Structure 1
Amino acid sequence: MKRWLSPKLQLSLGLVSLTVSLILVAASLGLLPNEERAELEQRGVTATALAVQLAVLASRNDTAAIKDTIDVVVSRNPAILSIAIRDAHGNILAGSDRHLTHWRELPDGKSTATHIQVPLFNDDTPAGRIEIAFRPLTSGANPLDLGPALFAFVGFMAVTGFAGFYLVLGRALRELDPSRTIPKRIEAAFDTLAEGVLIIDDDERVLLANRAFKHNVLTGGELELGSPASGLPWLSSVAAPVAPSDLPWRVALEHEHPVLGAELSIRDAGGGMHRLVVNATRILDGSGTARGAIVTFTDVTALHETNMRLSASVEELRKAQRHISDQNLELQYLASRDPLTGCLNRRTFFEQAEALLTEAIRTRRPFVFMMVDADHFKRINDRFGHAFGDKVLVGLSDQLQTFCGAPHLVGRYGGEEFCVALIGLSKTSAEHVAEQVRRSVSNVGTWLPGSERVTVSIGLAPLDDPRDKLLDLVNRADKALYAAKTEGRNRVVVERTKDAAPTSTVARAASRAGWRCDP
């Protein structure tokens, strides 16, 4: 282009050339109506209709009807050379004669003007395809062969387009000339700011972008003065595109109030995302009419990344604390339990039993202490071994916890001896609980070889005097247990008072064998 041509004239000629070129390209690409395109469209319609008909017949497995349909279509349509239907494995289920001669496989799987394939599906699963081989197109029309009408249309567009472009561009270039709106000294002042700054007009076209915006915000991108600010790849905090109506400067212009602290993101040329805090304020003329907006951008990417790392560290610390808490609970559980039977160990049992006794005295509820001992346990270990002895202890613990569950306490006193603290049960009820435990244990035939049975002796000591200590009840229950052993074992003995002799309850409890341990 010669130097004497003005920018307005250069742009007008360029746009006219572009318009004419687009018309010629459209003609070369066949976008203008022609016979060849009509024939291609007809082939597409024929292939679609045939595919629907064959798909219906294939779903019925009607091979004969498929073959007849293919033969009729090929014989009546001179443009079709052959038709075949294949299954998902590539086997031909039905087809016209010499189909393999006319058909050629499509490397990229896309149909051509002479070879069309239509996929078949069973629900969403590929079930095969329909192949149709057509004769070569016969039109041979040259899309670049311009007739008189097209030539006249191109000439009209060139002349009128040049005139229109020249007038419109003259006006647009005057309006978009930044030097007419933003003086150089104002640009230099904005370039000294560390924040990115955009000044836009009321149509959101960029009138000024300072150096910080170009270098720090729009890293690696290009921004032309006069282009719309909304055309930049703005993103939300979740990396999704932002609707133009939600952009801060649009909100400021439409709602007549500043927008402060809005969050936006934008991707740089390397794919990284810059997080920005945006403020937007309208620019008013002397009459109070909004002529645009000034928008500032503060890059908080580094601060956001620091906050993310801090949040991740806090979450890791919380996970570690929860893990430690779970471990402490597990250790506390293990420290309070007998490792073999799973019931409370001796130390924990007496700590909790002391508190349970205090609660019973305070609320005036009944309280009974029970001692349980496996009969002839040493003989069991000697005859069957310690493995069976351990099995007996575990089974006995399970029985006690079954009949004396919460709020009662079950603990291993030592060796083959267990202790139970019963709260809320009268002496009679406690006797029935003990008797039921005794009967249940004696009925188990799976702990020892040969279905031999295990029996237990049980001693009970009810709380008769609120001044009694836990040790007093332990001694009395132990005395009752000793009495049960000396009277022949496999029985329940109750220590009724501090002075009275313990009494066996085997006979009375037998009549109430179905009683359960519920407070």
Structure 2
Amino acid sequence: MSWLKRLFSVRSTTSRIAFGQVSMLISVTLVAIILGILPDFLGTRLKDRVSLAEAIAANSSVLITQTDLIRLESVLNLVVERNDELLSAGVRRADNRLVVNISNHQTDWNKGLNEEAIDQQMIVPIIAGRQQWGALELKFKPLYGEGILGFYHRPTVQFILFCGVILYLLYFLYLTKMLKQLDPSQAVPDRVRAALDTMAEGLIVLDRKAQIVLANQAFSDLLSRSSSSLMGFEVDKLPWQLKEDASTDDFPWLAAMNTGKAEMNQTVRLELEDGVRTFMVNCSPVLADEGKAGGVLVSFDDITQLEEQEVELRRSKAEAEQANRAKSDFLANMSHEIRTPMNAILGFTEALKRGYGKNEQNNEHYLSTILVNGEHLLNLINDILDLSKVEAGHLDVESVALKPYQIISEVIQVMSVKAQEKGIALAYRPEGSIPETLMSDPARFRQIITNLVGNAIKFTEAGGVTVVTRMDTQQNKLITEVRDTGIGMTAEQAISVFDPFVQADSSITRRFGGTGLGLAISKKFAEAMEGEIYARSEPEKGSQFYLELNVKTDGPVALISAEEISELKQSEATLNVARWKFPDASVLVVDDGIENRELISLVLSEQGIKTDGAADGVEALEKLAVNQYDLVLMDVQMPRMDGYTAAREIRKKEMTLPVIALTAHAMKGIEQKCLDSGYSGYMSKPINIDKLIQLLVHELDAEPLSEACNDDRALDNGTVGVSYHSSSPNQSISALTLDDSSQLSPLYSELGASNPKFEKIVARFIVRVNDVYKQIQSCSTQQDFTVLRAHAHWLKGSAGSVGFPGLTDLAVKLEQTAIKQEVAGTEMLVAAIGVMIKRINLAKDNPNGINSLSTQTDNQWVIPETVTSELASQGEKFRLIAVKFVAKLEHQITQMKQELDGNDFSALADLAHWLKGAGGSVGFPVFTEIAKALEKAAQAENGPECETLIATVDEIHKRINL
């Protein structure tokens, strides 16, 4: 039975070869028949029938001519009787009348039979004279039957079937004997094979093509196949389960065969009927001539159960470590929370000790901060002592009167230091009226707000954090929202982030730190206070955390408006401006623009810092080699040697001093590129003097001083504080898109309100922003995203500088949507910007307001009637820098025209690059975008556009008034 099974098994190598040889013989036979090499039996018989029919028709024609139908009938009757294949015959006249009927021909004759079936019925014309008299009809037996049986009766089919069966048996018997001599497995003695079959681990031998030439019983049983059926099977085609980043080229037996070295203790997984099994594989190459591997011996040891036990042990260990880490993470989080108020306490105590409090007002502010943070620290200690209740979820909360706006303001004051360190905005924006007091737990409320604001600052690298409060009158709830412009989360992460020790993903902990416990504690606090906390977020679009508390009071709910909150905070704000005492320090300023070097040198000399200058990277390295500096402020794009190369050379020389990048490039990724090159910091042009001083304070360890804010020098040093407004410039776009201007409140500039010296700057901005907005609307309608992006970029940089941060936020979003060419988002943002500009225009009745004085050139560039330097208004020394720039600009414009006439676009691009960096630095931001466009046009060698832009630059130069 096994022999018969192997005979007809398609898996048998012998049967496959025998079947292939028979198939080739049959194919050759069919080709020979088609070419006429072999006789066609059916064709020969058909020809004989045709000859018989022609002979009878010829004889019939003679008899018809003689009108001897009786003799014709006798002849046909004789032919039918003597020919077994002829069933009937008849003669039919031209008028279709049958005149001779032999053997019931009229009944047997099938008029509907296909005319091409000449093997069964034949019709031959009968000619009388020169005309067709009629036709001879002959009915024959079919040459072959109908259906499968008739097909089998064909001689060709019988011949092929006979040869196929007989030759298959002969080939099978022959190959069984021959392949036994050639089969490598047969070279193994029976006693050795029996020994291999008794092994518990699977064993196979592969040839150079990774085909199986020997398999023991254990391996065959794994696949539920016989050893002989595996002969010649490619082992790579088995259902191996590969890793995500792996391919079939990574199999250990292929590596052993390619290298000629053994591969030991490799793990592979095979998908079988009972599931996925794991094997420990050892591969030993079988060396042939010249030391090359002619094959490989592979053993498979099933370690599935051991692996499952190991996974279970690792899981148990991880659970134990997680349980142990939970307490450590909690203590680490508490340590972090304690340090925040402790730093404030120690810092302001040190300030009092050193006598920084010059007046009673300062001392009161410092002591108030110490008191607030001391109480907060005491509450944290109480929470630690009540740890068992926190873990059990049973928290005791108080129900006393608290002022939400006051606690939020105090948290903002404490957390503003962190925000300033990261260079992001932090503000409190009350929307509408909220309860002045409510009954709840002040300590828990403070802790929740602190956690939410702290998390928002931690995960925000650009933009800002805003705390918004509003009243839900329908549900009688106070909603506190913490918005940020940080990294954001997915919807799933926004839910799981409130679980203990969970952050958005593992990379968050490495990047930002933290234990992930703050939000979990905040959620427990909120639930204990009969409120709820939840989050909404999108990746890369920031997050919004919401705290909702039921409004409970002892009596009627007393509401306080947003304007009243702003007035209270302004009355409590101190009127001091930060001043700094810098140590003896020397700074090297590296920039190819002399105006930039003069400006930075002037700012630094005003702070008592020594400066030195260099025009490019080569000169900077030369000066660093002979002089001692404490800091380097270096441009990025310079002739001879750029800033990237210079920074790398500085680090190669093992110089550890800070090197800060100053560049007009503000594209995404430039800051990281600077840091990767060796810079230790980054600042974009035009240089913000306040930010520059803050950077110097940090790098040079300056000590704070205190002077009255009416000191004119405070303008150059900047201030740090929190502003409060009746409505938020960061509010949602949907809330801004109001068509009724009567519902809008005037929006005044923070810059104009802080110092009257900035009123002219604000006024000029209001003039220009109205003109630019017309261009923005036109670009939005025409979907000209390139120009729209340029206008949004200008608005992004200018609005915040003149005290409209809300307009900056919208401009940032507009620039992003213009880059992505999102039509719907662009239209919504343009409408929102229009509403905010309406609010700014509503402030024109204020003394700071001003009517539009700008004009527009023939192209898209908007030029004010009078162009002044924002830098010149800050003092005579700054004005002289602007005067030098204007004088040099006249020469540079002449040079631009000459380079254009000579088609030297490379030199023209260099001049445009100088103007792009120098113009904004000396207080002429109107040149920045135009110079950028001119540089791009020069690089593209677009002569007509360059001529237009140079004319625009020349027109602006003529309107300069210092």
TM class by smaller structure: 0.3 to 0.5
- After TM superposition, the score normalised by the length of structure 1 is 0.39
Higher relative contact order (CA 8 A, sep 6+): 1
- After TM superposition, the score normalised by the length of structure 2 is 0.23
